[in-house]
Amino acid sequence: MLTFALAVFFLIITPGPGVLSLAGVGSAFGFRHGSRYLLGLFFGTNLVSFGVITGLGAFMLADPRIRTIFYIISVSYLFYLAFRIAFAGSKIAFIERAAPPGVKGGILLQAVNPKAYAVNTALFSAFAFLPTAPALEVALKLLILNAIWIAIHFLWLWFGITLRRLDLPEKAQRAINIAMATSMLIVVALAAFAPH
């Protein structure tokens, strides 16, 4: 169980579309709007977990046409987000928007987030610790996953809010934007091209 918890921690803390966009919403709109977006990400990631656990995701993606369409939509959208982050200029806002994305935006992001599918697949298909009680194991994994997920995502929200308050020089803000966009692209590429 400890190995599973460590895997959850390291797989979730790495910058991906969810945490980077959450930091951006926190930076641009503050805690209240960031918390609403976090709630959407939470619902979205649990929907992805449900799809992985039940095999629904595998069933849908077994059709090469559906898999190709999903791949094109998700990678295109995530590259677009990375582009927006990298070229946000000298202001750390990660993603500039006129209005916060809210709960619906969080759910939609997780629905097309290849890292969410890769992480959930890795966590629920490996790290068996109760082989004689698979239903209990899944329930415990969900509890552990959600407890760590919530803590890490609130940390990223706080990070975004704090970065905005630091009022860093423009050059430093631009460097952070580029580093975050690069990290996001690396994680997306690893998730998208990993063997399933």
User: pLDDT tens-digit profile of 158-181?
Assistant: 988 887 778 778 787 777 777 777
The residue among 136, 152, 185, 161 whose CA lies nearest residue 1 is: 136
Weakest-pLDDT range from 51-65, 79-93, 94-108: 79-93
For the chain, domain boundaries? 2-193
Highest mean pLDDT out of 80-89, 118-127, 137-146: 137-146
Residue 150 vs residue 111, higher pLDDT = 150
Question: Cα–Cα distance between 66 and 20 in angstroms, integer?
Answer: 27
Question: Cα–Cα distance between 194 and 3 in angstroms, integer?
Answer: 21
Q: Is the pTM of this model over 0.75?
A: yes
Residue 134 vs residue 84, higher pLDDT = 134
Look up residue 80 and give its amino acid. Y
- For 11, 62, 112, 152, 175, the CA distances from 180, given in Å and listed in that order, are 16, 32, 19, 17, 9
Q: What per-residue confidence (pLDDT) applies to 107?
A: 93
